[in-house]
């Protein structure tokens, strides 16, 4: 698997960026972070 094909879960992303779930949601809504939605889960 290439680096570009690896995704982080929301929890992993929040831990890495040291932000809350609310801040992560705002980044997603504002288009400031790339994500993929699979079912009810988001991957970054």
Encode pLDDT of 1-27 as tens digits.
456 679 999 999 999 999 999 999 999
Provide the residue count of the chain. Answer: 44
Give the per-residue pLDDT at 2.
Answer: 54
Supply the pLDDT for residue 32: 98
Separation of alpha carbons 42 and 28, rounded Å? 10
Contacts 24+ apart (CB under 8 A), 14-20: none
Beta-carbon contacts of 14 under 8 Å, excluding residues fewer than 6 positions away, are 20, 21, 23, 24
pTM of the model: 0.81
Q: What is the pLDDT of residue 3?
A: 61
């Amino acid at each position: 698997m290439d680096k570009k094909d690896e995704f982080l879960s929301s929890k992993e992303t929040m831990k890495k960026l040291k932000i809350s779930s609310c801040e992560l949601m705002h980044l997603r809504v504002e288009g400031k972070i790339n994500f993929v939605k699979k079912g009810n889960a988001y991957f970054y």
